């Protein structure tokens, strides 16, 4: 995000650090209405509530990572157009961050205690992807969104039938992730090598399994 030549590298670093603190600290504001606002809430038993909270914590971690990825990719994008694309996607993903945090609170739970670690790891991955060029960076987005979509589809199957609020949030997230992936593909994303896809899936598996509990 160095489109403004009057912002010094130090100022840029401070802005980035502030953003990271806000993300891992759970400070996020949605620009769109929460899709769960009009969903009919229901009484979940203890097991169902715990399971919904675990899944929503995983989704919240995914959004923490999305903020890190899009921020790092925007900062290291090779063109102003790509920078704007990543920044816009990041703003939309911030809605997800706020929605999932709100739902976790409603379920009597909290975000992952490992959020600083997830953020740092995702930021590093986004930086590496961006350094490989815009086409590879976009390809990374496409593959990431495909994997996220698959996770969200599985969560829609796993969430308790009566948890309409969580379902409404996850469904809107799924639609947004598909749109982000399609947009990146249309901008000229390069296909990611199979070994890279496998590594991404393995890392995602570790994250989702851990975040469900922590």
What tens digit of pLDDT does each residue of 172-209 get?
999 999 999 999 999 999 999 898 899 999 999 999 99
Q: Which domain holds residue 49?
A: 42-213
* CATH number of residue 203's parent domain: 1.20.1260.10
Q: Classify residue 29: in a domain, yes or no.
A: no
Q: Which residues of 22-49 are buried (b: 16+ CB within 10 A; e: fewer)?
A: ebbebebeeeeebbbeeeeeeebeeebb
171 is in an annotated binding site: no
Q: Classify residue 80: in a domain, yes or no.
A: yes
Q: Classify residue 22: in a domain, yes or no.
A: no
155 is in an annotated binding site: no
Q: Classify residue 3: in a domain, yes or no.
A: no
Q: What confidence score (pLDDT) does residue 1 get?
A: 42
93 is in an annotated binding site: yes
Q: Classify residue 25: in a domain, yes or no.
A: no
What's the whole-number mean pLDDT along residues 127-135?
Answer: 91
Q: What is the distance in angstroms between the CA of the first residue and the CA of the last residue of the chain?
A: 32
What pTM was computed for the model? 0.89
Q: Classify residue 17: in a domain, yes or no.
A: no
51 is in an annotated binding site: no
Q: Classify residue 131: in a domain, yes or no.
A: yes
180 is in an annotated binding site: yes
Cα–Cα distance between 132 and 113 in angstroms, integer?
A: 31
How many domains is the chain partitioned into structurally?
1
What pLDDT digit, counting tens, does each position of 46-99 carry? 999 999 999 999 999 999 999 999 999 998 888 888 888 888 888 888 999 999
87 is in an annotated binding site: no
């Amino acid at each position: 995000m160095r489109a403004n030549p009057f912002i010094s590298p130090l100022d840029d670093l401070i802005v980035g650090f502030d953003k990271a603190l806000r993300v891992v600290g759970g400070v996020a504001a949605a620009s769109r209405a929460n899709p769960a606002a009009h969903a009919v809430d229901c009484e979940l038993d203890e097991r169902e509530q715990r399971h919904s909270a675990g899944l929503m914590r995983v989704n919240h971690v995914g959004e923490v990572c999305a903020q890190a990825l899009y921020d790092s990719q925007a900062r290291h994008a090779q063109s102003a157009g790509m920078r704007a694309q990543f920044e816009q996607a990041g703003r939309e993903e911030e809605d997800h961050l706020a929605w999932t945090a709100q739902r976790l609170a409603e379920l009597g739970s909290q975000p992952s205690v490992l959020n600083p670690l997830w953020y740092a790891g995702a930021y590093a991955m986004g930086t590496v992807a961006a350094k490989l060029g815009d086409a590879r960076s976009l390809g990374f987005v496409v593959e990431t969104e495909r994997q996220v979509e698959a996770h969200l589809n599985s969560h829609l199957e796993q969430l308790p039938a009566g948890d309409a609020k969580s379902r409404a949030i996850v469904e809107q997230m799924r639609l947004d992730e598909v749109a982000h992936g399609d947009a990146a593909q249309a901008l000229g994303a390069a296909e990611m090598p199979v070994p890279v896809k496998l590594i991404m899936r393995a890392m995602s598996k570790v994250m989702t399994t851990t975040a469900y509990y922590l």
